[in-house]
Structure 1
Amino acid sequence: MPSFLDAPVSGAYHLVSWIADVLEPIGGPYAAALAIVACTVAVRLLLLPLSLRAVRGEKSRAVLMPQIQAITKKHAKNPERAQREIAKLQADSGTTLLAGCLPMVAQLPFFWVLYSLFTRAVVGGEPNDLLAGTLFGAPIGVHWPVFATTPAYVGLAVLLAVVAFFSARRQLARLDETATPLSRNLARVLPFGTLVTAAFIPLAAGLYLLTTTTWTVVERAILLR
C-alpha cells in the first residue's frame, strides 16, 4: 500500500482503539465491535446533510414524474430527444439523479479505511490490537468462512438478509407503473448484494455494512413518510 494511504488507516486505528477502550468497561470482549458500530453511526450522522439532499431529490423526482411520463410518451419514437428534455426538466428544477447516490459514494472512503484496518496485522509500525476483538467467539478481523456455523457469522447473514428484504420492499413500493420488469427485478435483487459482499470482507467490515444499511432503511422510512 502506498505510504500516503497509511495516514488515514493509522488515524482510524487510534480513533477506534480509543473508542474501544472507552467502551471496554461496558462491552468487555465486544468493545471493538461496539466501537465499529459507534464509528459507523458517527459517519452516518456526518453524512446526514447528503442524505437529506438525496431525500429532497427523490421527492422532487416524484413530483416531476407526471411531466417525465408525458415527455416519454410524446417522444416515444425519439428517445434521444426525450432524454434531453427530461434532463432539461430536471436541471431547471434543480433535481439530479446523482443526488440519491451521494450518501453511498461518500461512504466508500470510510469503508475502505475500515476494510484496510482489519486486514493489516501491523498499523503505524505497531501490532494491530483491534484484531484481538471478538464477536460471539469469532475474531472480527477474520473473513467470513463459507461453511462457518458460529453465531456471529450466522447472525450477520440473517440480519443482513432481513435488512435487504425491507430495503427491497421499500424500493419496489416507490416504483411507479412506468418501471420496467428489469427495474423491478433489480430492485428485488440488488439489496441482497450485501450478503455477497459480506462473504469477502472481515467480520468488522460486515458489522459496518449491517449498521449502515440498517441506518439507511430506517432513515428513508422516516424521511420519506
Structure 2
Amino acid sequence: MDTIASLFSFITWPVSWVIVQFHKLYGAIFGPDTGWAWGLSIVSLVVLIRICLIPLFVKQIKSTRNMQALQPKMKAIQERYKSDKQRQSEEMMKLYKETGTNPLSSCLPILAQSPFFFALYHVLSGIANGKTIGVINQPLLESAQKAHIVGAPLAAKFMDSASKVEGLGATLTDVRVVTAIMIVLMSASQFFTQRQLMTKNVDLSVKTPFMQQQKMLMYVFPIMFAVMGINFPVGVLVYWLTTNVWTMGQQMYVINQNPTPGSKAQEHYLDRLLKSVALHSEVRGKRRRAVVQAIVAKGPDRNDIERKFVTGLSKQGFVAQADGSVVKSDVALAEAEGGATPRRQQPKRQTKAQRQAGAVQQEDAAAKTSLSKEAAEPSDVVPAETKAEPQDAKPQQEAKPKQGKPTAGQARAKSGQRKGQQRPKHPTKK
C-alpha cells in the first residue's frame, strides 16, 4: 500500500494544503488538537473533491442513459445469437464502439478520486511515522498525532501493534473497535449503493454484459474494501466512509428524480407523478413536464410502465400534451370508464342455401308489395278509349297474360332451377 501511495506523491502537496486550510477553520472553532478539527477537515476534503467530480458524474449519467437507449438493439443481438455467446459478445462490443458508449462508465468517479485517496493515505502514513510531508510541518504533525476520533488516533490502523498505538496515546482495543465499526459501515454503504442501482434503476427486461458487471461489482467492492480496510489509517477510513455516503445519497437523488426507463424506480416515480396530477390537475415542475414530454414523444415505443401511466391519466380524465402539460378531457374519461369504442362487426358469412333462402324471401316481399300496390289503385276510373271499345274486345284483353313481376311460386321455381342450358331428362324418368 505504501508503494502504491508513493506513486501518487505528486498530488500529496495539494491534498495536504487543502487539509491544513480546513484545519485552520475548524481549529478556531473546536481547538487545533481535537479530533473534530482534523476529522472535519478530511470530510471537507471529500466534499470538495466530489463537488469537483460532478461534471464527471453527469457524464456518467449520460453514458448510462445511452446504455438504456441501446437496450432494444442489445435484446435483438441476444435473440439473434442466442446459441453463440462469443459472437454475441463481439456484436455487443461492436455496438458499444459504434455508438461511443462505455459500459464501465459507472467506475469513472472511483477511478478519478483514486489519486486523492492514495495521496491522503500517504499523508496520514507520514503522520503515523512522525514524518513531515507536504505542507504539514512539525507543529502540525504533533497536533495531528494528538487528535483522536472516538478514542482512536487519526493515524492508527487495525493491524498496528500495541506499542505503536500506545505511542499515539490510545489503547489497542479502542483502535480495533473503532476501525472495525468503520470498516463494516464502509463496506455496507458500498454494497447498498450498488444494490439499489441493480434492483431499482436497471431495466430488468433486458440482460446485458453491463448488468453482469454491475452485479459483480456489487459483491466484489465491499469484500475488497473490507479486506483492505484493516490496513487503512482511521483518517483514510473517515475519507472513504464519507465518500461512500456521498455516493449513496447522490445516487438516491438521481434514482428518485431521473430514473432509468423500464426500471422499478420509474414505476414508483410515475405513480407519484400520477398522484400529483390527480391532486393538483396539472404537472408541477419543469423536470416533471420534461418527463411527460418524453413519454408523449415516444408514442407507440413506450414501455409497459409508461403505457400504464398514460392509461392512469385517462382514468383521471386527463390527456398528456406534447409540451409536457395535461388537459382535462371528458372523452378520455368516458373511454376510460366505458372502455374503448366498439369496433364495427363484420356480417357473418352465410352458406349458399342461406343466401338462396334470403333471395327467395326478398322476391316474395317484392311480389307482395307489388300486389298490394295494384290492389290499392282505383278500379272505377276507366279511360275513355276503353269505354269506346266494343264488348267483344274484353275477352281478348282478359285472355292476354298480365305482364309484371313474377309471383312467389314462380320465383321459387326459378330460384330452384339451374342456370344455363338444361340437361334433357332421361326417358326412363319421364
TM-score by length of 1: 0.83
CA distance in 2, matches of 1:109, 1:6: 9
Q: Which residue of 2 aligns with 1:136?
A: 150
Q: Which residue of 2 aligns with 1:77?
A: 83
Unpaired segments ≥5 residues, structure 2: 161-171, 257-430
Residues 158 and 180 of structure 2 are in contact (CA less than 8 Å); yes or no, is this contact kept in structure 1? no
Q: More helix per residue: 1 or 2?
A: 1
CA distance in 1, matches of 2:61, 2:157: 34
- SS state at 1:61 partner: helix
Q: Is 1:163 equivalent to 2:186 in the alignment?
A: no
Residues 194 and 217 of structure 2 are in contact (CA less than 8 Å); yes or no, is this contact kept in structure 1? yes
Q: Aligned pair in 2 of structure 1 residues 184, 56: CA closer, same or farther (>3 Å)?
A: closer
- SS state at 1:176 partner: coil
Q: Is 1:176 equivalent to 2:199 in the alignment?
A: no
- SS state at 1:214 partner: helix
Q: Is 1:8 equivalent to 2:11 in the alignment?
A: yes
Q: Which residue of 2 aligns with 1:87?
A: 93
Q: Is 1:44 equivalent to 2:74 in the alignment?
A: no
Q: Which string of whole-angstrom CA distances, capped at 9 and with x for unpartnered residues, describes residues 18-64 of structure 1?
A: 21121113344111110000001100111111111112212221232
Which residue, 205, 215, 223 being the options, matches 2:246?
215
Which of 123-132 and 173-182 deviates more? 173-182
Q: Aligned pair in 2 of structure 1 residues 103, 185: CA closer, same or farther (>3 Å)?
A: closer
Aligned-residue offset at 1:183: 5.9
- Aligned amino acid, residue 216 of structure 1: T
CA distance in 2, matches of 1:103, 1:67: 27
Aligned-residue offset at 1:139: 0.7
Q: Aligned pair in 2 of structure 1 residues 195, 6: CA closer, same or farther (>3 Å)?
A: closer
CA distance in 2, matches of 1:213, 1:118: 20
Which of 108-117 and 118-127 deviates more? 118-127
- Aligned amino acid, residue 14 of structure 1: W
Residues 163 and 214 of structure 1 are in contact (CA less than 8 Å); yes or no, is this contact kept in structure 2? yes
CA distance in 2, matches of 1:79, 1:46: 40
- Aligned amino acid, residue 107 of structure 1: Q
**Of the two structures, which has the highest relative contact order with CA contacts closer than 8 Å and spacing of 6 or more?**
1
CA distance in 1, matches of 2:218, 2:178: 26
CA distance in 2, matches of 1:211, 1:87: 35
Residues 55 and 224 of structure 1 are in contact (CA less than 8 Å); yes or no, is this contact kept in structure 2? no
CA distance in 2, matches of 1:155, 1:142: 14
CA distance in 1, matches of 2:108, 2:147: 32
CA distance in 2, matches of 1:175, 1:206: 34
Which residue, 121, 124, 133 being the options, matches 1:123?
133
Q: Aligned pair in 2 of structure 1 residues 71, 8: CA closer, same or farther (>3 Å)?
A: same
Q: Which residue of 2 aligns with 1:186?
A: 216
Aligned-residue offset at 1:10: 3.1
Residues 184 and 226 of structure 2 are in contact (CA less than 8 Å); yes or no, is this contact kept in structure 1? no
Q: Which residue of 2 aligns with 1:102?
A: 108
Q: Which residue of 2 aligns with 1:206?
A: 237
CA distance in 2, matches of 1:64, 1:9: 41
CA distance in 1, matches of 2:15, 2:241: 19
CA distance in 1, matches of 2:231, 2:239: 14
CA distance in 1, matches of 2:255, 2:59: 12
- SS state at 1:119 partner: helix
- Aligned amino acid, residue 135 of structure 1: I
- Aligned amino acid, residue 11 of structure 2: P
- SS state at 1:224 partner: helix
Unpaired segments ≥5 residues, structure 1: none
Q: Which string of whole-angstrom CA distances, capped at 9 and with x for unpartnered residues, describes residues 151-195 of structure 1?
A: 633542343244134224213313736379976863552342333
Q: Name the % identity.
A: 22
